[in-house]
Amino acid sequence: MTTTSGTWTEETLELAGSKVQLVKGGSGKPLLVLHDEMGYAGWLRFHEELSKNHTLYIPSHAGYGGSDRLDWIMGMRDLAGWYLEVLDDLALGPIDMMGFSIGGWLAAEMAVMSPEAFNKLVLVGPAGVKPPQGEIFDMFLVVAKEFITKSFLDPAKSPEFQQICPDEPTPEQVEAWEVAREESCRLSWRPYMHNQSLPHLLHRLKILPTLIVAGRQDGIVPLSAAEAYQKAIPGSQLAVIDDCGHRPESEKPEEFVQQVDRFLSAG
């Protein structure tokens, strides 16, 4: 089944031995986009802007959205290995990759496993590394709506907040959130939202141009985690967006897109 809008299409494909929900849109150089721990939130403004110069590939991770759950995937490194085969089957390599929050952690795991599979890497508010200062917010202590609200510095100033987290979500949306929370728990519970071995492997990305983007007031993953990534990845860049929480792509979309487009287009 394929769903089409003016900008993007959504379909379910057989990839890496399972069914994968994939949104694709835009034109230009391919860009793999890995969603956060709450799943794909729909086509947003930053997708629209980036799709002017890039062909976006936005899969739902195994167990999220319309993608099959795979019982053997019990941690982020398992998911990363599976995703590399997804890219093999899509014949999308080497490719630029961008990941958000838990998707940033996933992108880092994929990149350290196979850095030659990627051209450039963008990590946005990435989990995966234990923050030197502060703690990653425990999403399982609150309901989904409260967690999403916490991820914005000021929801009232974010026009897309209601699209991402409506006052009265549909039953289908609530179910999707709960499925995403269950899968995120399976992937990241102990140790919570980080992999103790990942910092020791990030040096492998010395051959991969990397940009880390973080909101200065991130209430989910402390800024110190982004700084730790920048310190561990030789030659990487860190862009900190002021007056911004965990979702710079929706809270400050113009500045976010400018930073990402500049990095991806640079020779």
Condensed to tens digits (0 to 9), the pLDDT of residues 9-45 reads 999 999 999 999 999 999 999 999 999 999 999 999 9
How open is the CA angle 125-112-57, to the nearest 5 degrees? 60
pLDDT of residue 7: 85
Tokens of 9: 């299409």
pLDDT score at 111: 98
pLDDT at residue 74 tops 70: yes
For 220-241, what is each residue's pLDDT tens digit? 999 999 999 999 999 999 999 9
- Residue 206 pLDDT greater than 80, yes or no: yes
Strand partners, 122: 98, 211
- The Cα–Cα gap between 126 and 102 comes to 6
Q: Which two tokens stand for residue 131?
A: 């923050």
Percent of the chain with pLDDT over 70: 98
pLDDT on residue 241: 98
State the pLDDT confidence band at 153, using cuts at 50, 70 and 90.
Answer: very high
Peptide bond into 94 cis (omega under 30): yes
Specify the residue for token string 């350290």. 112
pLDDT(6) > 80: no
Does residue 267 register a pLDDT over 80?
no
- What backbone phi and psi angles, to 5 degrees, belong to 129? -120, 135
Does the pLDDT at position 5 exceed 90? no
Q: Which pLDDT score is estimated for 10?
A: 96
Cα separations (Å) of 90 from 69, 137, 166? 19, 35, 34
Label the pairing between strands 8-15 and 2-4: antiparallel
User: Mean pLDDT across the stretch 46-75?
Assistant: 96
Its pTM stands at: 0.96
Q: How many domains does the chain have?
A: 1
Across residues 122-136, what is the average pLDDT? 98
Assess whether pLDDT exceeds 50 at residue 1: no
Across the chain, mean pLDDT equals: 96
Tens digit of each residue's pLDDT (9 = 90 or more) over 78-103: 999 999 999 999 998 899 999 999 99
Domain that holds residue 137: 2-265
**CATH no. for residue 179?**
3.40.50.1820
Name the band, by pLDDT with cuts 50, 70 and 90, for residue 123. Answer: very high
pLDDT of residue 4: 57
2 pLDDT higher than 60: no
